[in-house]
Amino acid sequence: MAVTREMFSDVMVPNYNPAQMVPVKGEGSRVWDQAGKEYIDFAGGIAVNCLGHCHPAMVNALHEQSQKLWHLSNVFTNEPAIRLAKKLTDATFADRVYYANSGAEANEAALKLARRWAIDVHGEQKQKIIAFNKGFHGRTFFTVTVGGQPAYSDGFGPKPGAIEHVPYNDADALAKLIDDETCAVMMEPLQGEGGVVPPEQDFVKQVRELCDKHNALLIFDEVQTGFGRTGTLYAYEQLGVTPDILTSAKSLGGGFPIGAMLTTAAIAEHLKPGTHGSTYGGNPLACAVSEAVLEVVNTETVLEGVKQRETMIKEHLAAINDKYNVFKEVRGMGCLIGAELTEQFEGRARDFLLAGQEHGVMVLVAGASVIRFTPSLIIPEADIKEGLKRFEHAVAQVVG
Ligand SMILES: Cc1ncc(COP(=O)(O)O)c(C=O)c1O
């Protein structure tokens, strides 16, 4: 069957508005569309393809596992799931892992666990969940309500309750709202979707202290920042703060759907048999791929390389800005970089994205005024240079 982009509107629910071209092939950090046009991929499937497209380690792991065992459900466990959990707990603060299929589901599990823990340990009154304006935690009704973007959570009727928000990087506002009835604070260690907003110095430490003072759990949503994206396996390692619960997805599977919630043994205990679950969670194919990704990503070479790529990309963007004066600020950590547009171009990030596609480079936006770059963690230097050259042409086109 010949497939065209036009068919999309005839057969798909219109909640997405994908690009006009249809990609058909990817290799490393390059992608080709139906017409054979080549793109440098700085989007990486929205911070997912941490090893680029079709990395041999992932292809081999998937191929090997596909000939052994595809699915069993959680009525049985499986070797890849246990092996990956052992490696994840060895590499982090966590003692226990719960598997999901996406970031939203990992966060849903984290929030339900926090509520259950609070009820078990402190009683029914300890329900309040505090999160941050412009945060993003997924699209289930619980997670989208905890996310601080009413545009995403409004218009669906009554929301889950006892959820409140304060501005990110405002520890005083959190101090005013948090109390002994707070069960958890959920945050991204660096806000991704909300505009690539890093935490200010000491903010995260202050959040941790406030949680400790009021016996509230601290949940780090590392769905976007995790699995090497910021230059350490998880961003918390660089912030000097350890969360009680951490969620991971996106790069965790490198392109194969998987999510995970990591926590301590004492907290994990409160999700007893039958309290929560997922048919596909811990699927052997997903876990085998994730294990292969972890083996490559969690090495000094790759993590150091992320920092080098950050410097390189930021330098190139600064050089583009010297010529065209389009960015107010270039910020972010590792391979999660945002370029905020000046007042003159406010609200026009999508124009740069579209011009980029025309010139053969895929970028993302994070809100209306921030262009976001989330390339593969191992993107070759030559692809960074070529991609930013193409991006410069796109900038020139938008500037006119
Ligand atoms: C920080 C964060 N949390 C959660 C999610 C939701 O993940 P998923 O789309 O896999 O459900 C995202 C997706 O962009 C995210 O960036």
> For residue 284, which phi and psi values (nearest 5 degrees)?
-60, -35
pLDDT tens per residue across span 116-140: 999 999 999 999 999 999 999 999 9
pLDDT tens per residue across span 338-376: 999 999 999 999 999 999 999 999 999 999 999 999 999
Give, in order, the Cα–Cα distances in Å from 306 to each of 236, 260, 377: 16, 23, 6
Q: Are 326 and 354 in contact (CB under 8 A)?
A: no
- What is the Å distance from ligand 1's center to 136 Cα? 7
Q: To 5 degrees, how large is the angle CA 65–CA 290–CA 141? A: 115
- What is the Å distance from ligand 1's center to 151 Cα? 16
Name the average pLDDT for the chain.
98
Q: Whose CA is nearest to atom 7 of ligand 1?
A: 103
**Percent of the chain whose pLDDT exceeds 70:** 100
Q: Whose CA is nearest to atom 4 of ligand 1?
A: 137
Catalytic, 128? Answer no
Pocket of ligand 1 (CB under 6 A): 46, 102-104, 107, 136-138, 188, 192-193, 221, 223-224, 249
What pLDDT does 43 receive?
A: 98
Task: State the average pLDDT over residues 224-243.
Answer: 98
pLDDT tens per residue across span 53-111: 999 999 999 999 999 999 999 999 999 999 999 999 999 999 999 999 999 999 999 99
Among candidate residues 33, 221, 244, 383, the one labeled active-site is: 221
- What is the Å distance from ligand 1's center to 311 Cα? 25
What pLDDT does 13 receive?
A: 98
Tokens representing 362 are 């895929």
pLDDT confidence of 322, banded at 50, 70, 90? very high
Which residues touch 205 (CB under 8 Å, ≥6 apart)?
A: 239, 240, 241
